Amino acid sequence: MTKEEEVLEPADGQMVRIYHCGPTVYKRPHLGNMRRFLFADFLRRALEANGFKIKEIMNITDVGHLTRDDIDEGEDKLEKEAREKKLSPQDVARRVTEQFLADLDALNIQRANRYPKASDHIAEMVEIIEKLIERGHAYQTDTGVYYDVTSFEGYGKLSGNSLDKIEAGSRVAVRGEKKHPADFALWKIDDPEHLQQWDSPWGRGYPGWHIECSAMSKKYLGDDIDIHTGGEDNKFPHHENEIAQSEGAGDEPFVRIWMHNAHLVLGEAKLAKSEGEQLTLDTLRERGYSPIAYRLLVFASHYRSKMNFSWSAMDEAAALLDSLKQLMRILKDAGADNEEASYEEEIVNGWRSALGKDLNTPEALAVLIKYMHWANSHLSKSNEEAGLIWATLMEMDKVLGVMEIMVKELSEETVPADIQALADKRIKARAERNFDEADRLRGEIEAKGYVLEDTDQGARVIRK
């Protein structure tokens, strides 16, 4: 709102109440959408790492709201998808929601406290609309109830859009029954084609685009919330209208801090925009990437910067993930994961303070990479500090959220039987002083991607 960095001072002391605009569940979210949910996850974890407690809500838009504010010309994507698939809108919404939650899990995104559905909160929306009419912020016409933007003094304060500018830029066709072109629907009636309809004091119909977020944030987080997030495309009109509704119906400033993430841009010309909208986690898997590599790629850009997506950027993220995993493998082999070690405070403090500066994830990642390089060069001299390094990495991973996945992968990693058989043969060859054969076996093991490491207990096989 202020276009400045603000100190976070939650109303309830250390408890931060966060509202995230969630997905519209007509279609599986693409990678660009998932950036938004990763940003929300990094924010929540970074706040926790800095000592805050979190109450976090993300709505699921499962009612037929229109995707454009121009409600008379807009197309309801949920209903369109339902018609095309010959399913009910509820079935489409349920299937896409399940897929969405599975995608969150695959990206190791921690679950919010709740994912309330718009369709379960029609009564709460009606209540706010009644209040807005009562307070002179809304009016009824033959097609529904509209918000009167001229009645709300602060309209445009978030996006910088003044009412004059909006009026000058509007077409006559969008005005219809509205008093001002920026007036927006709170409730629509008289639309028998619409599949999802509910009773209301103004007739059978359905809610407008924005009212659900005002209703659900109030119900679960109260009248004023600490942080509200969304994509930069949500700023206008969606968030501007949320402010007009929530502050028009209540007495508190709606939100203390707004945070909007920038878009994903496709960095390779050969990736057309339409393809970008088709990119999902399955596209990554088909190309051999772990979803976690995408998590790391998103972490590498600051949320307010446009993020370039390309296959070469994915390769770089995957390579970083590999070297991190190799370091962890060495540490684990040294028994580091069983150590009760404390972490290196100076490193972890540097990591946390980078995250505390407007969620500066690229700066935090630089701290981690520098530490990885140090750890790699340090390990060759001594394994004694392995436990300390492990603990330090794991502390940083509370926000990064990729190493905990690798720990699971590493614990499932065993040396394949054929490689172990070659290693056993080599031990036998050495015992028989057949060194040519032992060297040949070592070469064969290495050609298969494993190395032999001589330790006090004898030779050990590890993955290259």
Question: Which positions touch Zn ion (CB under 5 A)?
Answer: 21, 213
At 117, give phi and psi (nearest 5°). -95, 140
Instruction: Give least dist CB 101 to Zn ion, A.
Output: 18
Cα gap 107→93, rounded to integer Å: 21
- CA 300 to CA 342: how far, in whole Å? 27
- Give how far Cα 454 sits from Cα of 40, 227, 325, 331, Å: 46, 54, 21, 16
Residue type, 4: E
Query: Which residue, 20 or 442, has its beta carbon nearer to Zn ion?
Result: 20
Q: 124 or 395, CB closer to Zn ion?
A: 124
- What's the min distance (Å) between Cβ of 210 and Zn ion? 7
User: For residues 27 and 430, which CB has a smaller minimum distance to Zn ion in the complex?
Assistant: 27
Q: How far is the CB of 238 from Zn ion (least distance, A)?
A: 6
**Mapping DSSP to helix (H, G, I), strand (E, B) and coil, where does residue 265 land?**
strand
DSSP assignment of 394-425: HHHHHHH-SHHHHHHHHHH----HHHHHHHHH
Closest approach of Cβ 395 to Zn ion, in Å?
34
Contacts of 202 (CB under 8 A, 6+ apart): 140, 144, 145, 187, 189
Instruction: Name the token pair of 51.
Output: 């000592």
Least CB distance from residue 234 to Zn ion, whole Å?
A: 6
Cβ nearer to Zn ion, comparing 68 with 408: 68
Closest distance to Zn ion from the beta carbon of 321 (Å): 33
For Zn ion, the closer of residues 23 and 181 by Cβ is 23
**Residue with smaller CB distance to Zn ion, 57 or 423:** 57
In the complex, least distance from residue 40 CB atom to Zn ion, rounded to whole angstroms: 12
Cβ contact 81:67 at 8 Å: no
Residue 187's nearest CA partner among 247, 153, 196, 163 is: 196
Task: Name the residue nearer to Zn ion (CB basis): 21 or 109.
Answer: 21
Cβ contacts of residue 262 below 8 Å, gap of 6+?
232, 303, 304, 305, 306, 307
